[in-house]
Structure 1
């Protein structure tokens, strides 16, 4: 597989900027109010493997929730860039099934990823259409890496009343924690039916995360031990990000022939 092409840069409102690559339709950077809001590992592999950071598209399978490749194939496929209105700061990419995808997942589909910048916010939308003659199901996520100054001072609000599945403990069901989420060591959780807006508080900086069409939320940080052993991450890099993912995992999306599904995640700078 060829290495991903050079990033596409797009100027947004109020001196904001987006960077993305058609490889995986992956956002790599979003600068807003003079700060980088997404995390991209300094050791990210751009040779054709999954890129560590930004916003990888997880489709048609989240993790091992299905018989196919872990986290699906969309993040390591070349998508095609779609034309957009030059007056609107938007990027769009499409992925259609082909012989290689059908060897992994035997369905006809089209997926379209759109990213649009507005003042102080970024909208990321994913649309999936069933182009075949049979129904299919899939799980999906926007695996969003959010940059933070120092993980030790970060808290995530909005999940205090939600029970969760602990993926770091073989998917064990756990009760709601009743307090904002802090990050100490490895954390890998699926929050079913997490529909309330979330607020990532990093010192004086607050980012609100909203989602539509994605019923679940995933929160992940590898912790120091795992990060040190990851070739495309490295020691102490876990202190620079938190993954807050809009997802549909617990109840997969089911599409009849001709039907479409759309999900959207919005990142909103509050301070």
Structure 2
């Protein structure tokens, strides 16, 4: 029997798009994209990116090199991944404000705060991008180190994972009433198949400081950089951050590195002899499978006046 005023069928509820899974367990934050299974893992000590598993040609694999001997309990800087260098690169002369700080400063050995995550569609469907935010200030930094460099600062570090890429950006703000000078660098350890067949393009005919030869100033020959021994160079590309870099293996492009407001590039591999002086580098043969391409601002000091901010970033792309 037909009913009068028969109710209409309920409209189907549209399912919510899949969200990236973000977990905070102990002192590690992990994010996984639901669309591809790609992931990033960040240690709160130093806000150090420990792992980036990226997808290329249907292959999900680790893209960052991490030493088997890396210390992950916060007592030492992490050997590998992407440590954050601030406010000094290397060590300073005695007459510079950062002179009392250990090599590479205080950010990489301080415990950062996890500020949360955000998601967007990125370059693909909903849930295909996730950003993790981390913060550090003079008040929350390692007190033994911040006492050696008495300036008021805040750092905001953002780690954004998208299919086939990883972006890390940093905002440095002078929160005090005194100007300060600083260096900043993203100490990225890329994983490579074999350093002897790895080349870098984009830095040809560029001036650099050769740390292996006592900071001697040289000019890179035209063409690609190949590796046959210890390499520790600070490149100063004439086009600054506009100059893109490509890392290739046996002639095939593997990584693209683009920079935003980070004009310098450090290229480092310790090779077979120097590696034995690096205690937490393991296995010692691991130098064959890593190459540091480190965007930064380290060839000269940046100055921040009170209430001013500096922002820089790198984008790592699978090619």
- TM band (smaller chain): over 0.9
Does 2:246 match 1:199? yes
Pairing partner for 1:208 from 256, 277, 286: 256
- Partners of 2:196 and 2:66 in 1: CA distance: 19
Deviation at 1:86, TM superposition (A): 5.1
- Equivalent in the alignment of 1:230: 278
Correspondence 1:77-116 to 2 at 5 A: 77-85=110-118, 88-98=129-139, 99-116=143-160
RMSD: 1.6
- Equivalent in the alignment of 2:304: 255
Deviation at 1:269, TM superposition (A): 0.8
| Alpha-carbon distance change, 231 to 101 in structure 1, aligned in 2, over 3 angstroms | closer
Pairing partner for 1:217 from 240, 249, 265: 265
Does 2:49 match 1:8? no
Total equivalences in the alignment? 267
- Equivalent in the alignment of 2:3: none
Deviation at 1:255, TM superposition (A): 0.9
Deviation at 1:228, TM superposition (A): 2.7
The superposition leaves residues 13-35 of structure 1 with CA deviations (integer Å, 9 ceiling, x where unpaired) of 52210011111000001011112
Q: Which runs of 4+ in 1 moved over 3 A?
A: 99-102
- Equivalent in the alignment of 2:19: none
Moved more, 144-153 or 228-237: 228-237
Correspondence 1:15-34 to 2 at 5 A: 15-33=37-55, 34=60
Deviation at 1:207, TM superposition (A): 0.5
Deviation at 1:213, TM superposition (A): 1.1
Which residues of structure 2 form unaligned runs of 5+? 1-24, 93-97, 121-128
- Partners of 1:6 and 1:69 in 2: CA distance: 23
- Equivalent in the alignment of 2:195: 151
SS of the counterpart of 1:239? helix
- Which protein is bigger by CA-based radius of gyration? 2
Contact 2:194 2:289 in 1 (8 A): yes
Contact 2:27 2:44 in 1 (8 A): no
Contact 1:218 1:244 in 2 (8 A): yes
Does 2:218 match 1:166? no
- Partners of 1:229 and 1:70 in 2: CA distance: 16
Deviation at 1:205, TM superposition (A): 4.9
TM-score after normalising by structure 2: 0.80
Which residues of structure 1 form unaligned runs of 5+? none
